[in-house]
Amino acid sequence: MENFVYGRNNVLELLQNSDRNVSKIILLEGMKGNSKINQIVDMAKNKGIIFQFLSKEKFIKFNEISHQGVIAYVSPVKYIEFQDFLNKKKDKYKRVIITDGVEDPHNMGSIIRTAVCAGYDAIIFPSRRNATINATVEKSSAGAINRIDLIMVNSLPSAIDKLKDNNFWIIATDINAKDNYYDIDYCNMNFAIVMGAENEGVSSTILKKSDFRIKIPMLTDFNSLNVANAASIVIYESVKQLIQKSGNVV
């Protein structure tokens, strides 16, 4: 399933905002006339992409995915080299999310989606014990994976050292932190927010390397936010601060 993109909004997003190579699009016969399906067909025609309407029977093998009547065969998503990202010039500060062992592809996709809405620059994730960018991640991201730099690294601790050498501040989420996520100032610095694994949180090695540790306060003893929701809460605190304090944000 690596090289599929499915779902109407996702395929539209792919055709509109990605330079990935689409080799073929298949569509469900019964969906002819749907406005988004029409849009997809028009774009395919414009771009000279082969497309084909298929019967329900031919779509049976895709029943397990919520394809909404359209599947695009596509070249794999492009990662960017870490060093190339660091070398990129930017007038404003760079903002990054690091996932340290986020294994659920829905969570991974959802985090990327929020990061893109918030104008973040990159997602950094380790090559092992973390979801890779597959079709499920792409679907959960609503196509956002095409709008942000994706950086896969072999060693997260080394990547963090390198970020620090490049004037990034490292902010780790930690259930035992003293500071709340809104106690720190996200403006006027390059920063990377580290989100941890679904059960274990951010690993101790990474916590030790962090400049800030922040927690999300709980108002009950039920201390169990979903990691993608937790990421959204922190990311949007940074957005709010950037809008309120800097004015000029992206």
List contacts with a copy of itself (CB under 8 A). 9, 106, 110, 113-114, 116-119, 140, 142, 144, 147, 180, 182, 216-220, 222-226, 228-233, 236-237, 239-240, 242-243, 249-250
Return d(Cα 136, Cα 75) in angstroms, integer: 15
CB 209 within 8 A of CB 165: no
Beta-bridge partners for 98: 124, 194
- How near is the Cβ of 155 to a copy of itself at its closest, in Å? 29
- How near is the Cβ of 119 to a copy of itself at its closest, in Å? 3
DSSP character at residue 130:
S
Sheet holding 168-173, edge to edge: 149-153, 122-126, 95-100, 190-196, 168-173, 212-215, 179-180
Beta-bridge partners for 124: 98, 151
CB of 123 or CB of 156, closer to a copy of itself: 123
- How near is the Cβ of 87 to a copy of itself at its closest, in Å? 22
CB of 36 or CB of 209, closer to a copy of itself: 36
CB 203 within 8 A of CB 100: yes
CB of 107 or CB of 159, closer to a copy of itself: 107
Straight-line distance from the first to the last Cα atom of the chain, in angstroms, rounded to the nearest whole number: 34
Return d(Cα 52, Cα 183) in angstroms, integer: 54
Helix (H, G, I), strand (E, B) or coil at 91: coil
- How near is the Cβ of 107 to a copy of itself at its closest, in Å? 10
The identity of residue 157, as a single letter, is P
Return d(Cα 3, Cα 109) in angstroms, integer: 16
The residues near 240 (Cβ < 8 Å, ≥ 6 apart) are: none
CB of 43 or CB of 159, closer to a copy of itself: 43
CB of 21 or CB of 226, closer to a copy of itself: 226
- How near is the Cβ of 134 to a copy of itself at its closest, in Å? 17
- How near is the Cβ of 215 to a copy of itself at its closest, in Å? 12
CB of 113 or CB of 213, closer to a copy of itself: 113
- How near is the Cβ of 143 to a copy of itself at its closest, in Å? 8
Residue with token string 């306060």:
217
CB of 143 or CB of 156, closer to a copy of itself: 143
